[in-house]
Amino acid sequence: MPAALSSHLPHLLIIDDDSDASLLLHTILKSEGRISVAAGGLPGLAMVQEQLPDLILLDADMPDMSGFEVCSLLKADQRLARIPIIFVTGCSDIASETKALQLGAVDFISKPFSPLIVKARVRNHLLLKQHMDSLQQLAAIDGLTGVANRRAFDEGLEMEWRRAARRQEPLALLLMDVDFFKNYNDFYGHPAGDTCLRQIAKVLSTIAQRPGDLAARYGGEEFAVLAPNTSLEAIQHLAEELCDRVRGLHIPHERSAIARWVTVSVGVCSLLIPGDAINGNRTTEGELLPAGAITPAAFVQAADRGLYQAKKAGRNQVMVATLPEENSTMTL
């Protein structure tokens, strides 16, 4: 795709067991983006889950798993369903084309094909996806603070949870609450409160800058940072830096019971998520979590528990989450 259309280099995935056909498509489309090739349906599915390409070029007739099966499985996965799929296949009958489109493919190109037509259709679908991604990104932004909103956080947590399980890497979470924010709003007024939240969100964005880090407004005066492949020590360091920087803003808070300035309380946790959740999760400290607690919701609850402990201990500090008990609830 020409650079003028997007600053993001598109990633195209070719799934075809025919190496000659894959090489031909690679040659035709090498100027359109970064290209990966999977030599069959099963490895193709694995690559889609791992790499999340911008567009998939899929053959219908493959020995291990047909392209129709691959397409059906991808469209059934909420995280992968929006990736456009173009069938490029030797199946040229109307029934095959109809089936592909009914399964959710955006286009169907029969072999032998014209290189110019393939390139034009791929460009069109990449451009359409770029526009759709832009709209989706706008819908995922909190209007007040400019960081991700709660819906984007929930979707990001689900995606990173699965990724961490596949890669056997730790996933870390930070939950932060502005201390005595109701008192701040009551004394200074809601416009000042909004300005305060925007300043804190800006600090949050500056410390969560690694690829994959997600800073979000979790609700009200509460914010979150989701940090893939991050140890407990690393997320603690990030949280301490956040506290220091918020204090460093020197936002006056005459109605705070603990400081002259606006401060925050933070709870953190980090888990190693095994691929087989039945066997239980372990924290990065090595403690085993109950098998029944191995869910994204329990993960958030653990960080929430740490936040509660930080408040209970006097606020303006970071606390590591205690392990959630089975069937336990936490009310702040």
What is the set of active-site residues? 221
Q: Give dist(CA 105, CA 84) in Å, integer.
A: 7
Terminus-to-terminus CA distance in the chain, angstroms?
Answer: 50
Strand partners of residue 282: 272, 288
Q: Give dist(CA 151, CA 156) in Å, integer.
A: 9
Both tokens assigned to 311: 């408040």
Q: Using DSSP bridges, classify how beta strands 11-15 and 85-89 pair: parallel, antiparallel or unpaired.
A: unpaired
Provide the total of helices (H) and of strands (E) in the chain, helices listed first: 10, 11
Both tokens assigned to 9: 């280099």
* Contacts of range 147-153, beta carbons closer than 8 Å, 24 or more positions apart: 147/201, 147/204, 147/205, 147/215, 147/216, 147/217, 147/223, 148/214, 148/215, 148/216, 148/217, 149/216, 149/217, 150/216, 150/217, 150/218, 150/219, 152/214, 152/216, 153/214, 153/216, 153/218, 153/224, 153/226
Reference 185, options 247, 266, 255, 243; nearest CA is 255
Burial of 86: CB neighbours in 10 Å, binned 0-12, 13-18, 19+: buried
Q: Give dist(CA 290, CA 281) in Å, integer.
A: 7
Q: Using DSSP bridges, classify how beta strands 264-272 and 282-283 pair: parallel, antiparallel or unpaired.
A: antiparallel
Q: Give dist(CA 187, CA 185) in Å, integer.
A: 6
Both tokens assigned to 178: 């502005």
Report the Cα 159 to chain-centroid distance in Å.
Answer: 5
